[in-house]
Amino acid sequence: MSLLQVKNLIVEFPSRHGTLRALDDVSFEIAPGEILGVVGESGAGKSLTGAAIIGLLEPPGRIGGGQIMLEGERIDHLDAQAMRHIRGRRIGAIFQDPLTSLNPLYTVGRQLVETIRAHLPVSEQQARQRAITLLRDTGIPAPEQRLDHYPHQFSGGMRQRVVIALALAAEPKLIVADEPTTALDVSIQAQIIALLKNVCHQHGAAVMLITHDMGVIAETCDRVAVMYAGRLAEIGPVHEVINHPAHPYTEGLMAAIPDMTQDREYLNQIDGAMPRLNAIPTGCAFNPRCPKVLGKCRVERPDLMHAGASRAACWLHEGKAS
Amino acid sequence: MTPLVKVDDLAMTFDVSQPWLNRVLERRPRTLLRAVDGVSFEIERGKTLALVGESGCGKSTVARLLVGLYQPARGSFIFDGSDAHASFRSPQGLKLRSRIQMIFQDPYASLNPRWKVGDIVGEPLIEHGVQADAAGLGERVAQLLESVGLSRADASKYPHQFSGGQRQRISIARALATNPEFLVCDEPTSALDVSVQAQVLNIMKDLQRKMGLTYLFISHNLAVVRHVSDQVGVMYLGRLVELADKHSLFANPRHPYTRMLLDAIPKMRDTGQARTRVQGEVPNPLDPPAGCAFNPRCPHANERCMRERPVLKEFQGIRLACHAVDEGRIA
């Protein structure tokens, strides 16, 4: 059974000029222990998907339809009180900026102990011991001393390690990591990505890794979901999506990334920009920018269809059985 | 041919001391942050030099020194044969400023949200007296917008009506208004998505070819640098550690820091292959290590590296600051 199941998820923002659909009919699953990458441009809805899963949609945003199931149990309609028992205990979260996810007034030890004791029936002493183990697991030197330091005494990379330790504190089955390395330098990013991958594997946690960096996805994930204008464009095994993209948007995205192995005078570009939420074209959202557009694309919205080992929301793959 | 831009031993120091009273009471000395500490390079006309490095290595400070936003603590910047920082202060400074322009990182912060695009792009034309009459001004603004792939009708819109990539094109149009020869680009695409980044990089390459522009391109993204540059300078804690033409730097990186940076890039293809583990973090720039600044993270550091600071010198056609390579300890 899959650990997380998202079915036809819709997230809406009511506004003066009508309701805006920021996520439109998004469905995917995450298996236990799996790392799913979610990639897309700013505004494609990747962070919103993560926020909907951990129950942290900012009002007036709301779930307008669909279901989110965690281990077979619906969690999308739970109230704030019930959600608080799931968040941290069963779903951990890692955000982009480690400085804003830690409380600057408490030592990291106090924050870890508080989190552990909120979710697990352990004594202060046991929680402290566990906090030390977690910090050691995440590669922080001299954890016994570091426990009593404040967040400002840590560097950016070390803070993100503390945040990862916090997310793992109550042994959740799923971790939603929203751009965990974007605020870090490339040499630190490499360390954090390797750490995230290893530690989650050790603790048996699945990860939903949200990022705009295809390189990070390629190195970390088992499968990847590509989002465009609030919809899933393509989802499949990571090598398949990178080497044989099935959706023209994925293809354009891959070609636009400057490559370290080839020399090109000009980069391939996708002309135009992603549509705004109030101006999403009918049919396929990508049709005005698509080089392979068909008549049908302008009229009817494609569902995810089998395309090799992946599935893509594109009429080009209509009728091709897997 | 003499290079258009010649930077020699440029340095910039920031005073980050405690306030005077604290220093007196607590008997603390002044604290100086050496953001840039003796950087030298040249850029030929029509070429691109890229500076790469991690946060806090001083690359943006170099950019700000070159456009005259900072006065250097030491060293010189010779632009087209004359001392630029002397002329920035003289009455001819305005003329020089029209020849050196800058593109900033964040197109959301660098455009005045209350001004129309036409006014934003037209301001340098009026300021530098390039175009005084209203009709000519409008025509020139339209031309500039078209040169970066926007339409002339966009002049009457406000910045918030554009996406990030379009805004960065407006910044480029503004920078081009005075017909500059040298553009300093400080992370021009790091705030943009990859598909939009490709559009902006292509436009910058096009403009360079058409107008013979010279670029100083600052970035932390080595893949982008590899795409746009002719020469690459790698900076670490305020100093250049390696300066080489693009092909030799990427094919055969010499300095251990350059190798580490290249290893740290996530690879798109041949996945599954573990990359070399990167060690440690950038030290505190207020208290840099003695000797080579990279020695605490360097796998090849020996006693000499901890004692003596290597200088940037010619080494097999490139410029390099490393004892280990110099002594032949590493290939």
Q: Is residue B186 assigned to a domain?
A: yes
**A238 within domain boundaries:** yes
Is the ipTM above a cut-off of 0.95?
no
Of B39, B38, B35, residue with least CA distance to B70: B35
Which is it for the CA torsion A84, A89, A91, A93, positive or negative? positive
Inform me whether the C-beta atom of residue A290 falls under 8 Å from chain B C-beta atoms: no
The chain B residue lying nearest A259, using CA atoms, is: B223
User: Two tokens at B151?
Assistant: 């339409």
Q: Hey, is the C-beta of A252 within 8 angstroms of any chain B C-beta? A: yes
Looking at the complex, does the CB of residue A222 fall below 8 Å from at least one CB of chain B? no
pLDDT confidence bin for B271, thresholds 50/70/90:
very low
pLDDT tens per residue, range B37-93:
999 999 999 999 999 988 888 899 999 999 999 999 999 999 998 899 888 888 888
Judging contacts by C-beta atoms under 8 Å, the chain B residues touching residue A216 are 266
At B156 the pLDDT is 93
Return the residue in A220, A260, A276, A278 with the most chain B beta carbons within 10 A, the one to mutate for interface testing: A260
A289, closest residue in chain B (CA to CA): B195
pLDDT digits over B188-224, tens only? 988 888 888 888 999 999 999 999 999 999 998 888 9
Which structural domain, as residue segments, surrounds residue B124? 5-245
Instruction: Tell me how far apart the 2 most distant CA atoms of chain A are, in Å.
Output: 67
Interface test with A, best of B160, B162, B193, B206 (most A CBs within 10 A): B193
Distance CA B123, CA B101 (A): 13
- Domain of A273 in residue numbering reads as 228-322
B74 touches A at CB < 8 Å: no
Q: Do A190 and B266 make contact, defined as CB atoms within 8 angstroms?
A: yes
The two beta strands, A73-74 and B239-245, are: unpaired
Asked whether residue B84 is assigned to any structural domain, the reply reads yes
CB B191 within 8 A of CB B107: yes
CB-CB under 8 Å, A252 with B194: no
Cβ separation B193–A212 shorter than 8 A: yes
Is residue B255, in this structure, part of any structural domain at all?
no
Q: Residue B274: what pLDDT? A: 53
Distance from CA of A278 to the nearest CA of B (A): 14
Q: What string of pLDDT tens digits covers the 322 residues of chain A?
A: 789 999 999 999 998 888 999 999 999 999 999 999 999 888 899 999 999 999 999 889 999 999 999 999 999 889 989 999 899 899 999 988 888 889 999 999 999 999 999 999 999 999 999 999 999 988 888 899 999 999 998 888 889 999 999 999 989 999 999 999 887 888 888 888 888 888 888 888 999 999 988 888 988 999 999 999 999 999 999 999 999 999 999 999 988 888 777 777 788 888 888 888 888 999 999 999 999 999 999 999 999 999 988 999 999 998 765 4
Bridge partners, residue B205, by sequence? none
Shortest distance, CA A11 to any CA of chain B (angstroms): 23
Sequence-separated (6 or more) residues with CB below 8 Å from residue B87: B93, B95, B96
Give the end-to-end CA distance of chain A in Å, rounded to a whole number. Answer: 22
pLDDT of residue A185: 82
Which residue in B has a C-alpha nearest to residue A212's C-alpha? B193
Which strand (E) or helix (H) includes residue B206? helix B194-211
Chain A residues with beta carbon closer than 8 angstroms to that of B224: 258
Chain B residues in contact with A239 by the CB 8 A cut-off are: 271
Label residue B277 by pLDDT band (50, 70, 90). Answer: low
**8 Å CB contact between B79 and B67:** no
Using an 8 Å CB-CB cutoff, list chain B residues near A242.
268-269, 271
* CB-CB contact of A190 with A247 (8 Å): no
Nearest residue to A48 via CA among A172, A164, A176: A176
Q: Which residues pair with B313 in a beta bridge?
A: B320
Residue B277 lies in a domain: no
At B140-185, the pLDDT tens digits run 999 999 999 899 899 999 999 888 888 999 999 999 999 999 999 9
Residue A1 maps to a domain = no
Looking up tokens 């030290």, which residue turns up? B283
**In this structure, is residue B316 part of a structural domain?**
no
**Residues on chain A touching B277 (C-beta within 8 angstroms):** 190-191, 194
Q: Report CB contact under 8 Å: A186, B275.
A: no
For position A71, what pLDDT does the model report?
92
- Domain membership of residue B94 (yes or no) is yes
Contact A57, A51 (CB under 8 A): yes
User: How many domains does chain A divide into?
Assistant: 1
Has residue A22 been placed in a domain? no
CB contact under 8 A, A269 and B222: no
Looking at per-residue pLDDT, the higher value among B276 and A203 belongs to A203
For residue B153, being part of any structural domain is answered with yes
A191–B277 C-beta distance less than 8 A: yes
Alpha-carbon distance B82 to A121, whole Å?
73
Asked if B267 lies within 8 A of A218 by C-beta distance, the reply is yes
Residue B241's pLDDT is 94
| Neighbour-count burial for B111-131, b at 16+ CB within 10 Å, e otherwise | beeeebbbbbbbebbeebebb
Phi and psi angles of residue B127, each rounded to the nearest 5 degrees, phi first: -55, -40
pLDDT at B311 over 80: yes
Per-residue pLDDT, B284: 82
Q: A291 in a domain, yes or no?
A: yes
Is the preceding omega at residue A143 within 30 degrees of 0, hence cis?
no
Q: How far is B269 from chain A (nearest CA, A)?
A: 8
- The domain tally of chain B equals 1
Q: Verify whether the Cβ–Cβ distance B198 to A269 is below 8 Å.
A: yes
List chain B residues with CB under 8 Å of A274: 163
Euclidean distance between CA atoms A170 and A212, whole angstroms: 28
Residue A156 has which token pair?
């950016």
* Domain annotation covers residue A319: yes
> How close A127 comes to chain B (CA, Å)?
29
- Confidence band for B275, pLDDT divided at 50, 70 and 90: low
Neighbouring C-alpha atoms within 13 Å toward the C-beta of B165: 24
B285 C-beta neighbours (distance < 10 Å), count: 18
Does residue B9 lie in a domain region?
yes
Q: Is B269 in Cβ contact with A269 (below 8 Å)?
A: no
Subunit contact A269:B266, Cβ cutoff 8 A? no
pLDDT of residue B50: 95
Residue B107: is its pLDDT beyond 90? no
- Put simply, whether A123 touches B (Cβ < 8 Å) is no
